Amino acid sequence: MTSPTSIRALFVAVAAVAFALGSFTTRAQRSGPDVEYVGGAPGRPFSSYVRVDDMLYLSGMLGNRPGGGLAEGGVQAETRQTLENISRTLENAGSSMNHVVKCMVFMEDMSQWPAMNEVYVTFFPEHLPARSAFGSTGLALGAALEIECLATVGD
């Protein structure tokens, strides 16, 4: 006769094997959303954005000027350049700032929040996306802020 403990152990083992096998299923073997990974700069270990059906997931962006270097002039200049970079990426993906539904703002100095907001709101004249903000002890390239967005594509 099999004990309830043995049956439970067998069930847990079977469930663990089934879960492990399912975890290794490749994208080609399962149906699901249409996914497109759009590369960033050469040598960077991430995509600029990932499109899943009609949703865009943008990587965090800094206030890098075209041609290199962070925008000079403090957090407001970096905010403006960051949002211009985001706008350009969205347009290249067939979207726009009007389709942004969520932003995450990472700030090196949260006391700069009001100055960042003065510029931020000018990029969303039709609606304000949902937003989260996080203080940081440091950002890439010594940036004052980084902004990550989620947006839809289409009407």
Q: What's the pLDDT band for 123 if we cut at 50, 70, 90?
A: very high
The predicted model gives 79-105 an average pLDDT of 97
Q: How far is CA 65 from CA 62, 82, 83, 122, in A?
A: 9, 9, 11, 19
- Contacting residues for 134 by C-beta, under 8 A, at least 6 apart: 104, 105, 106, 107
Residue 131 lies in a domain: yes
Q: How many domains does the chain have?
A: 1
- How high does pLDDT run on average in the chain? 82
Residue 4 lies in a domain: no
The predicted model gives 123-129 an average pLDDT of 96
Residue 94 lies in a domain: yes
Give residue 84's domain range: 33-152
Predicted TM-score (pTM) above 0.85: no
Residue 139 structure tokens: 């950002």
Q: Which residues pair with 146 in a beta bridge?
A: 106
Residue 70 lies in a domain: yes
Q: What's the pLDDT band for 42 if we cut at 50, 70, 90?
A: low
Please state, for a pLDDT cut of 90, what percent of the chain lies above it. Answer: 66
Residue 3 has pLDDT above 80, yes or no: no
Residue 23 lies in a domain: no
Alpha helices, DSSP H only, in the chain? 4-23, 75-92, 113-120
CATH number at residue 138: 3.30.1330.40
